Amino acid sequence: MTQESRIDARGPRVSPLALREQIEDAMRDLRRLGDIVAIAIARRDGLIIAHDLPPGVDPKKTAAMSAAIVGTSEMAGRELGQGKFLQVIVDSDEGKILSTGAGEEALLVTLVRPEANMGLVLLGVERAAQRIAVLLSGD
């Protein structure tokens, strides 16, 4: 925000509390897929919106790193002529990190067990990302 600008006095369309509950509902539904270890929702500029990361994992760092991973991947996709960014999967030997676009402004970050059924996980993540995109498009 610039020094002189005034804050938009209009309140958000939904109350912050109601929005938080709806986001948490979406996260809870996604967690029903057993193979998902933790979820974070971040803004594409690296601020955290919501998460259920385990203690010891810094949500702010997670948001910043996800934004950088996605930003870099998005750039690579565009430069190499692969079109619009959809998702990054970071495959490590003890699990996977999915960063999925959830609308223009947000990312859904999902930590997945290594032995997970990825077909099922990808389907669930895609559905949750769309739901979060709709929830966040209001404000």
Partner 1 sequence: MHTGTGIQLLDDKLGGGFARPSAILLFSDHPSEKRLFAEQFLMAGVRGGERCLYVDFFRAPQLARRDLSKFGPTHGDDIVFVDATSVQLLIPSSEPYTIRDMDDLGHIMETIERAIRETKPARVVVDSMEFLADRFPKEDVLGRWRHLLEVGKEAGATVAYLFLNWTYGQAEVERIEDMSDYIVEFQSRMRTGVLQHFLRIRQIRDGTVKTNWIPYTFKELVGLTVYFPRILVTGPFNAGKSTVVRALCKDTVSIDRMGTTVAFDYGNLEIMGFEAEVFGTPGQERFDFVFQIFAREVNGVLLVLDGTRPEDAPRARQIMELVGRDTPLVVLANKADLPGSMGDADIRGHLNLGPDVPIIHTIATQGEGLTAALRTLAEMIVGVR
Residues that bind partner 1 in the complex, under the rule CB under 8 A: 1-4, 6-9, 11-12, 16, 19, 23, 41, 43-50, 58, 60-61, 64-65, 67-68, 71-72, 75, 105-106, 135-136, 139
35/46 with CB nearer partner 1: 46
> Residues 83-102, buried b or exposed e (16+ Cβ, 10 A)?
eebebbeeeeeebbbbbbbb
CA distance 120 to 118: 5
CA distances from 99 to 1, 72, 96, 128 (A): 27, 12, 10, 12
10/32 with CB nearer partner 1: 10
CA distance 117 to 119: 6
46/101 with CB nearer partner 1: 46
45/120 with CB nearer partner 1: 45
Closest approach, Cβ 85 to partner 1, in A, equals: 12
Closest approach, Cβ 38 to partner 1, in A, equals: 18
CA 66 from chain centre, in angstroms, equals 8
